[in-house]
Chains A and B, each alone.
Chain A
């Protein structure tokens, strides 16, 4: 079966750095997405990785290792507004997105 694993919840301090991990087993791979979802709102796109390595976009970076079936989302200089759920999703061989359950990130002052 297809499976996406990520921690259920993480806590970090304002101004710090946090890394949210995602491991996956899917039938085929056509890219990995990270989305941010604030409580009661729709998911919004953060990043897309299809090649191994690190993609940096401002305070957010996303890393992919296809051989390990592993990705992480790195958030720097954390702000209170970063409190949200972060969803990892993998596009399989049928170009369907398989979603993880999301990691709820709590930022404390």
Chain B
């Protein structure tokens, strides 16, 4: 069984559209994350969500909004998509937020904005 799953795996859309990416983890972890990996392969944290506390990265435009219906799910909604949003988006989870917390990554969603 997949530990961290994301859908869709590929997403191609037009500029200006609104889209969502879903993430689910069945590991019983308390913390979930969204990362963006651009063409230069930098992994940049976008959001982390520990139980009911959302930690927002200030560099993320407010067009990006995470939504967590419960501890096992953290979805990412993107409004008014721009060309620069094209990247691979990874969801991850970890048991908690303190020191030794291995993060488990989903398979990634490759978003292409045309």
Contacts and interface: CB of A to CB of B under 8 A. Distances in A.
Contacts, number: 46
| Secondary structure of the B contact surface, majority rule | loop
Contacts of B98: 30, 95
B90 A31 contact: no
Interface stretch (B12-20, B58-66, B69-77, B105-113): B105-113
B58 to A, nearest CB: 12
A96 B45 contact: yes
B44 A99 contact: yes
Number of contact residues on B: which range applies? 20 to 34
Contacts of B101: 91, 95
B23 to A, nearest CB: 12
Interface residues of A, number: 20
A30 B103 CA distance: 14
A43 interface: yes
A85 B41 contact: yes
Contacts of A99: 42-45
A42 B43 contact: no
Given A42-B90, A101-B41, A101-B42, A95 B105 contact: no
B99 interface: yes
A102 B100 contact: no
A99 B91 CA distance: 15
A42 B107 contact: yes
A107 B6 CA distance: 31
Contact of B99 (A43, A44, A50, A101): A50
Nearest to B33: A97
Given A48-B100, A50-B99, A96-B45, A101 B106 contact: no
A5 B103 CA distance: 21
